[in-house]
A and B are shown apart, each in its own frame.
Chain A
């Protein structure tokens, strides 16, 4: 297999929540979450260093759908804060921490490897920094978020994790 500096690594254990909320509630949620939730669809925002205490991720993947991702240890605290702040608001907050598994794909061939299964255009003009979206990778659905030019954060449903890893490993053979 060709050598490549591009690495696929597993994300550390994380707490994940799906928030469904209107614009007003979104602002309230952002205030207690410690990170303003993105206003535009298919946009990601983050604060702090990945996996470290205080790290916050917010991805807007649908017109009223947000994914909030924090280090596993902070999940219960974040949940309690949001529950309190959003009490009385018309919204939905659901714990999906274990529903998905996360990966980081980083390195010069990251976009090429993604293009082995995903029909999106990963050119920076078409898929700029900060863009996050669901799409398809080969035969599965995935979420891909561009954190840097060569760094992509990926989430797939838990049972699809091994398939995603195997397909990326297979695609590495094509880095010729």
Chain B
């Protein structure tokens, strides 16, 4: 069971309190009606599945109730960092080879 630092309540909690809600930094087009089917399909369904670091969203559903962002390493499952919704992904030192 992972431990996750919630950037809102600043508390490191068991994964049980959280829910993963998919990729981060996928912004909803501001005027969806002007998008093409292909662009809309991209927004709806196309996601990266990287081996290594991924930016994703988590919900502290059984805690403070906030959605936030996290950088997680999909190889080691380690949370590199977490940050609030709306904040840009922090600049990361280049990845150390495991």
Contact = CB atoms under 8 A, between A and B. Distances in A.
B64 A63 contact: yes
B14 to A, nearest CB: 4
Nearest to A42: B9
Give the interface residue-count category, chain B: 10 to 19
Contacts, number: 45
A141 B14 CA distance: 13
A53 interface: no
B72 interface: no
Interface string A120-137: 100000000000011110
Given A41-B8, A133-B9, A62 B65 contact: yes
Interface in A58-93: 61-63, 65
Give the interface residue-count category, chain A: 10 to 19
A62 B62 contact: no
A119 interface: yes
Given A61-B64, A62-B66, A135 B9 contact: no
A133 B63 contact: yes
10 contacts: A41-B64, A62-B8, A62-B66, A63-B9, A133-B9, A133-B64, A134-B17, A136-B17, A136-B62, A141-B62
10 tightest CB-CB pairs across the interface, nearest first? A119-B14, A62-B64, A141-B62, A41-B9, A62-B65, A136-B62, A136-B16, A63-B8, A134-B63, A42-B9
